[in-house]
Structure 1
Amino acid sequence: MNVNETAWVRTDRLDLIPVGVEHAEEMAEVLGDPALYTFIGGEPEDLTALRARYTRWAKGSPDPEVAWLNRVIRLRAQERLVGTVQATVGPGPVAEVAWVVGGAWQGSGIAKEAATGWVAWLCAHGVEEIRAHIHPDNLASAGVARAAGLRPTEAWQEDERRWSTVGLDAPAD
């Protein structure tokens, strides 16, 4: 497995750029809508908290068998950040992925394009299984996962169904 923690990923309209603390101010606005947290829980972080999180992410995983790959989604036509994609890779050739797109850009195919590009990039770099955990009422994320090549499994983690590129049906860890 050869995942470059600093690689950019480019799709038709988007750049997936490694998250840096310099992105926190713009991302605090993008992620500031409480409605984004309906299915994933939590609430928007203030700028200070977001800077601290991005600083932790930039240091990388403390586990040498795990890589944290966090990207901001930049919509080139608007020259602005609109969301994030993430992958925790390892141990082994397995990645847990997640995505979020700000409310102003939802419904325009950005999440689908970003997730599809992200999953393709991960697979091209040796990841053999991609997993996401999605609340069963989050139909938009289910559609994104399906478009990116994941399918629902019988496994659950808390109240979220596991989706996978290989369709595992084993119990969630």
Structure 2
Amino acid sequence: MHVEYTLPVREAPKDEHEGEVTRIVDEIQSDFTDEWTGNCVYRLECFSPANVGQIEEPHDGRKIRVAEALTNSRLIYIGCSQWLENRLWKHVRGKSYGAKFTQQYRPTHLTEIRCYESIEEARDQEAKVGEEYQNLDDTYVYYRHNRHERFHWD
């Protein structure tokens, strides 16, 4: 299901993050009606930096996917979770929360949700969803399949 939710900014107080993320997930659950299982794959649009100085510091200090971020104008993160509200909150907060990719490249919008019967099925589908977006022009898609690949210049 395609959705369009603007996520809270990182600088907002923690209680604002939690309240807004709860509201978003409640609205999504009501749209899914009987189909909501909580086991989902989601797509986040992330901030695309113009230079290295705009990349936020990850909790361990080692930046990832810098070349990809600087050479594409659109960054997409594909993830999966049993507890969407908690997971989104972690992505929005950044720092030592959420994925390292979203610590550096702040998620700005939640744009897609797909529900599955089990978390195992959602995990299996995560890479397939990522591959669907992989060939978009000027876009880098970060998902399970390519998380551990090294970037090669040749």
- TM-score of the two chains, using structure 2 as the length reference: 0.35
Q: Flag the structure with higher helix content.
A: 2
Of the two structures, which has the highest relative contact order with CA contacts closer than 8 Å and spacing of 6 or more? Answer: 2
Q: Which has the higher strand share?
A: 1
